Amino acid sequence: MKTIINENIEVIPINCDIIIHSRGEIIYQDNLIALEMKKSVNRESEKIKDKNRLIALTKDKFDDVWSFDGTSLPEHVCRYGLGVYYEINAAKGKVYMEYYIKGKLKYTKMLAF
């Protein structure tokens, strides 16, 4: 089971909606994209948990330790190149998106459909 550590040093199991990785083919950047999806009617606490998970997953490292040797796996995963939070409001025909890079919210976008 893959885990991450949040800002309170709590170990959290990863249960993202979609995770894309290179399956070890790109050793330096195996973790590519983590995507969390929610309906707009979900509880705010659940939305915040997903966003915090994306922040942790896209951080460069934890405890200044990260192995690039291709054989040693880190205890907790991180270094996803991109984290995407996707929230759909079907009643209003809108999608809200947030993009996380290096542990920070970098971009937001609202689309109509």
pTM: predicted TM-score of the whole model, two decimal places: 0.78
**Using 50, 70 and 90 to split pLDDT, how confident is the model at 61?**
low
CB 112 within 8 A of CB 72: no
Q: What is the pLDDT of residues 83-108, one digit of tens each?
A: 999 999 999 999 999 999 999 999 99
DSSP per position, 2-64: -EEE-TT--EEE---SEEEE-TTSSSTT-EEEEEEEEETTS-HHHHHHHHHHHHHHHSS-BTT
Structure confidence at residue 10 (pLDDT) = 72
Give the C-alpha separation, 105 to 44, whole Å.
17
